[in-house]
């Protein structure tokens, strides 16, 4: 089972990916997280990606495709995986097809207005100690920008600054339509309203996912997820 999460940066793909992973046991693979880790580790891949990421531009298809290809070969992905932030271009989507052409697939496109996305990302902070993500909109007024888990200082990602968010949204819209058409033609596309309570969004996702899994099990005649 391949689960793909489409949606603007900040639309809640990561949160829903974690919830899906927790319930169904598939690993969540976030291309952004893998790239940030590579940058932090100073690997050649990270060095190739860093400048583009800071500017909010897309990292080259070759780099990202190679990285995802290596990741989904791993043992924990053999029954399924959740992709968050990949594919972002039609070339990435086509490569993904070639990497694993068979098996059940479902695409959730989490829809959110640009202004809501903008406000949400501007308020996003990451703990410099434990990497936990916080939204300042949800913190009580007057609360300091300190991590509730480990006491670390909360920082803003360079690409979460307002001027960069605009470019990220522009890039997102340039690529989105082609991907939506591609997955609609494959009959695996579902649009999910993202401006709702995260539990409600997850509930909606689970309804579709349970159906898809049951359907896949009927097709293969096994209890195993694909």
Q: Among all residues, which ones are annotated catalytic?
A: 13, 88, 124, 157, 168
How many helices (H) and strands (E) the chain has is answered by 8, 8
Identified binder of ligand AMP from the candidate list 2, 125, 168, 212, rule CB under 6 A: 168
Identified binder of ligand AMP from the candidate list 20, 59, 147, 179, rule CB under 6 A: 59
Query: Residue 86, interface with ligand AMP (CB under 6 A)?
Result: yes
CB 26 within 8 A of CB 1: yes
CB 3 within 8 A of CB 58: no
CB count in 10 Å sphere of residue 137 = 10
CB 51 within 8 A of CB 43: no
Instruction: Measure the CA angle with vertex 206, ends 205 and 207; round to 5°.
Output: 90
Q: Which residue is nearest to ligand AMP (CB)?
A: 32
Query: Residue 169, interface with ligand AMP (CB under 6 A)?
Result: no
Query: Residue 9, interface with ligand AMP (CB under 6 A)?
Result: yes
- Letters for 18-47 (x = contact with ligand AMP by CB under 6 A, - = none) are -------------xx--x------------
* Distance separating alpha carbons of residues 77 and 63, to the nearest angstrom: 20
Smaller CB separation from ligand AMP, 80 or 85: 85
Binding interface with ligand AMP (CB under 6 A): 9, 31-32, 35, 52-53, 56-59, 64, 85-86, 88, 92, 159, 168
């Amino acid at each position: 089972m391949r689960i793909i999460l489409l949606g603007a940066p900040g639309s809640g793909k990561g949160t829903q990916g974690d919830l899906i992973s927790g319930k169904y046991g598939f690993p969540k693979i976030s291309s952004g997280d893998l790239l940030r880790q590579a940058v932090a580790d100073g690997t050649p891949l990270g060095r190739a990606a860093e400048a583009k990421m800071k500017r909010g531009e897309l990292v080259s298809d070759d780099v990202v495709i190679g990285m995802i290809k290596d990741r989904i070969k791993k043992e924990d992905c053999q029954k399924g995986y959740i992709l968050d932030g990949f594919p972002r271009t039609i070339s990435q989507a086509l490569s993904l097809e070639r990497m694993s052409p068979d098996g059940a697939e479902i695409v959730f496109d989490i829809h959110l207005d640009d202004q809501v996305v903008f406000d949400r990302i501007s308020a996003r902070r990451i703990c410099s100690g434990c990497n936990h993500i916080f939204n300042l909109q949800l913190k009580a007024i007057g609360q300091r920008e300190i991590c509730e888990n480990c006491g670390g200082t909360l920082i803003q990602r360079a690409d979460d600054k307002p001027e960069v968010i605009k470019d990220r949204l522009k890039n997102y819209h340039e690529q989105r339509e082609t991907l939506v058409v591609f997955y609609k033609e494959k009959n695996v596309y579902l649009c999910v309203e993202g401006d709702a309570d995260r539990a409600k969004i997850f509930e909606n996702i689970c309804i579709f996912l349970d159906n898809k899994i049951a359907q896949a099990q009927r097709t293969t005649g096994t209890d195993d997820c694909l």
